[in-house]
Amino acid sequence: MTEYTNIEVIVMEDEDGSEVEMQLVDEFDYHDAHYLALSAPITEDEADDEDAVSFFEEVSEEDEELELALVEDEALIEALADLLEERLLSR
């Protein structure tokens, strides 16, 4: 798996084909899958909003184009959020 921690902003295409900039919060492996924690560019008002982070699973990386799938399973989101919190607090 490629690590993206040296990238500050990822430009994604939403379901409407519009480009959306997301900031990379962290990335990690969990249960044999690679996940990226992304957030919209954070303003001072949103700095404490833990819901501002979305989790994406890396589903493929072909021809240098990263393909991510939004994690929608609530139990998995909770597990990833706990892991992210643990990782961020240990820094």
Q: For the segment 53-71, what is each residue's pLDDT rounded down to a tens digit? A: 999 999 986 667 778 899 9
- Whole-model pTM: value is 0.78
pLDDT at 49: 52
Query: Which residue ranges of the chain lie beneath pLDDT 70?
Result: 1-7, 42-51, 61-63
How many CB atoms within 10 Å of residue 22?
19
* CB contact set of 88 (below 8 Å; sequence gap of 6+): 25, 26
How many CB atoms within 10 Å of residue 38?
24
Q: Among residues 17, 19, 25, which one has the least CA distance to residue 42?
A: 25
pLDDT at 80: 98
Place of tokens 């589903």: 59
